[in-house]
Amino acid sequence: MIKFLYKLLLFWGIIYVVLLFTSKYDNYRCDLSNPSIYRIKNSIKFTNLHILFVGGSYTYASIIPSIFDSAGLKTYNLGMPAAGPFIYELLIDNYLSAVKSKPKFLFLSISPMTFTDACDDWYEYAVHRYLTNPVSNEKILLENKNIRKYFRLLVKSSLTGIKNISQSLCNASHSKPDDMFIDSKGFQPSENVINDSEMFHSPNPYPEMLGYSFSDKKYNKLLELVKKYELMGIKIVFHETPSFHINRCFTHELLSTYNDKIKLLGEKHTLFYCRNISSYPVKYFRNPDHLNTAGAIKFTDFLLQMCQSRINIFE
């Protein structure tokens, strides 16, 4: 029995070592056709910014830096799919460590989704592996204490690593970003327009969201980030993008808690939002909760007006 257990342990130990070795090559060849990876790599080319926008997919779908550029404001959109406060910190720290001048303002995105388990999903969006100084999967394990997701993440990294190694051995050409991302400074455009029936007549486009609860851990992490970056001399502004058409998908308890929390945020910090549903009809959305390009133009114009009237952006 002991001999069998020894062989079994040896077998899984060898598999783990192979997975660990190959996983280290998951970022050996960065897939720049992936908008998220390109956005991270491209962001550090832009320094001395007035504003660095940080958030989830609502951010990269809703804020157009070129509109701010036309007003003399240098900005970059560092939105990342399903990012929450923990990924915010990784993205911001990575950016700050790579540029010479800090941004004057950090605009942090908030929404009911920000404080749920749908965000900061390291398995689905392993952004930690594509930073200037990549964070290991093991460090993510220690911080999140989730063995099951760690092994899933390790296997995923290993498969990507094996693919990268084989492509290098075959001298495969490197991937390139889509033309529409090259000059967008992080903004991800879409001309798609959702139809009315998809928006309003579906009883619940995202039924899994009824199982979400508000995470105090993520809210407290956000407050930690505010203190951390304010101590560096960076001013913090919160912004909420128009995603209110899917609020019916959340529980009343989650929305009530969220509204109470952002009310507290708004009392101590600058908060920009627009909840006038009539101002953002379905023609401005690419899907139930993400603005299309027309909607992004409208929302970015709103943000720019708020910047010009509420904060001394040029000081």
Model confidence over 160-176: pLDDT tens digits?
Answer: 889 888 888 887 676 77
Q: What percent of the chain has pLDDT over 90?
A: 51
Among the residue ranges 138-147, 153-162, 253-262, 291-300, the one predicted with the least confidence is 138-147
Q: What is the pLDDT of residue 23?
A: 87
Token output for 280: 């953002």
Cα separation, 292 vs 190, in Å, equals 5
Specify the pLDDT at position 199: 63
**What backbone phi and psi angles, to 5 degrees, belong to 116?**
-125, 170
Sketch out the chain's domains with CATH numbers: 2-310 (3.40.50.1110)
Q: Is the pLDDT of residue 259 over 90?
A: yes
Distance in angstroms (rounded) separating the CA atoms of residues 91 and 76: 12
The residue among 41, 65, 44 whose CA lies nearest residue 127 is 41
Per-residue pLDDT, 219: 96
Residue 239 CA to residue 179 CA, distance in Å, equals 28
Q: Would you state the pLDDT for residue 59?
A: 96
Q: What is the pLDDT of residue 174?
A: 67
Give pLDDT tens digits for 124-137. Answer: 888 888 898 898 98
Confidence at residue 50, expressed as pLDDT on a 0 to 100 scale:
96
Q: What is the per-residue pLDDT for 247?
A: 84
> What integer best gives the mean pLDDT of the chain?
88
DSSP letter string, 45-76: T--S-SEEEEESHHHHHH--HHHHHTTT--EE
Over the stretch 206-238, which tens digit does the pLDDT of each residue have? Answer: 788 888 999 999 999 999 999 999 999 999 999
Residue 194, pLDDT above cutoff 90: no
Assign 108 a pLDDT band (cuts: 50, 70, 90).
very high
Q: Name every residue whose Cβ is closer than 8 Å to that of residue 221 and which is 6 or more positions away in sequence.
A: 85, 86, 89
Question: What percent of the chain has a predicted confidence (pLDDT) above 70?
Answer: 95
Question: In Å, how far are 77, 83, 166, 254 from 244, measured between CA atoms?
Answer: 21, 18, 45, 14
Q: How many CB atoms lie within 10 A of CB 202?
A: 12
Written as one string, the DSSP assignment of the chain is -HHHHHHHHHHHHHHHHHHHHHHTTTTSS--TTSHHHHHHHHHTT--S-SEEEEESHHHHHH--HHHHHTTT--EEEEE-TT--HHHHHHHHHHHHHH-SS--SEEEEE--GGGGSTTSS-TTT--GGGGSSSPPPHHHHHHHH--HHHHHHHHHHHHHHHHHHHHHHHTTPPPP---HHHHTSTT---------HIIIIISS-S-GGGGG----HHHHHHHHHHHHHHHTTT-EEEEEE-S-GGGGGGS-HHHHHHHHHHHHHHHHHSEEEE---GGGS-GGGEEETTEE-HHHHHHHHHHHHHHHHHHS-TT-
* pLDDT, tens digit (0-9, with 9 covering 90-100), for 28-44: 877 778 888 899 999 99
> Which region among 24-28, 179-183, 265-269 has the lowest average model confidence (pLDDT)?
179-183
- How far the first Cα of the chain sits from its last, in Å, is 74
Task: Flag whether pLDDT at 274 surpasses 90.
Answer: no
pLDDT value of position 180: 66
What confidence tier does 201 reach under pLDDT thresholds 50, 70, 90?
low
| HSE value, Cβ hemisphere, 13 Å, CA-based, for 2 | 0
More confident residue, 278 or 258: 258
Q: Do the Cβ atoms of 53 and 77 come closer than 8 Å?
A: yes
At 293 the pLDDT is: 96
Per-residue pLDDT at 21 exceeds 80: yes
Q: How many residues are listed for the chain in this entry?
A: 315
Closest CA to 59 of 25, 28, 35: 35
Residue 99's pLDDT band (cuts 50, 70, 90): very high
